[in-house]
Amino acid sequence: MKIILMIFLCVASLASAVLSPRMSIEAGGNVQSIIVDHDTLFVGTSAGTLEGYKLEDGRATFKFSFDTIKDFMGDMIAPKVFSIDKLEGAETYLAVLQASSGARSLVVIEGTHATELINASANMFITKAKFLDANTILIALMSNELIRFDRKNKKIIYQKQVNTSHFSDFALNETKTKVASSCESGEITITDTLSGKTLKVLNSGNVDNVYKVDFKKEVVLAAGQDRRGIIYHTATGAYDRYDAPFLIYAGALSPTTHLAAFAFNEENDIVLFDTTTKAQIYTLRGQKSTLNTIVFATEKDIVSGSDDKFIMIWRLP
């Protein structure tokens, strides 16, 4: 009986473990966007840079600096890098940049050269963009329109209004055939990326803006302004709800979807839940500013970014 009790106490202790980051990386500017490509993480910053770092040791491997722009006062400043992506198997990058007079531009980077695909004169308030394949890009506008874009011909294939509420975030599934997008209404729309057809609308879980979404194995995570973390099962539309004491600015699913991570409180802690048992199993503590990004690099390696220069890397036991 004592042995069983000791085992139970050990498990309970592990389940409530508070973990510190194993490493912190200081980027060249405030972190705006993070992606992970195999053993390297890439960061878009407020200082107009796209930077790469090795996950294992934090070693800098890549840096691209974008040209300065004129702000509203006519001063030359570095453009914020709002969204980034990398083409699988190639040294080709995509970035959504702040442009002059508050506009946005879409840029592809190959080697030491950056090419504008969409410039500020198009008056597209681009919020996020991701490669679908080597020649096709999915673009989201603040107006909550999704655009499938032909990179080679610089041509719009389709432009679809997803919802009348302002766009917040989107996440592609593993095959990039579907996208889950969120907005201020709290609804999540699943769209076919080839045709632009709406496949399903997930609702009732959130009742306000969904800041971030993740989409893996037909499971969608929603991080809400209403302090609700929602896990939707797209096949049925059913969901599980995780209530937080503060606005949930970021969230992510592990590759297996067995773990869900949410930015959880005013102390900028990240709380991990077992999605099968709904139990809180870890608290990741150490971020100093408001979280804006959480990424699972592997089932046990987590990267987080916040409204400062510091990227934290965590490893679960």
- Mind listing the pLDDT tens digit for each residue in 6-43? 333 333 334 469 999 999 999 999 999 999 999 999 99
Residue found under tokens 């975030």: 169
Residue 175 identity (one-letter amino acid) = T
Residue 71 identity (one-letter amino acid) = D
Which range, of 92-106, 130-144, 178-192, averages the lowest pLDDT? 92-106
Q: Is the pLDDT of residue 239 over 90?
A: yes
DSSP assignment string, 35-86: EEETTEEEEEETTSEEEEEETTT--EEEEEEPPPEE-TTS-EEPPPEEEEEE
pLDDT tens track for 34-73: 999 999 999 999 999 999 999 999 999 999 999 999 887 7
Q: What is the mean pLDDT of residues 270-274?
A: 98
Predicted pLDDT of residue 16: 62
Distance from C-alpha of 79 to C-alpha of 129, rounded to nearest angstrom: 16
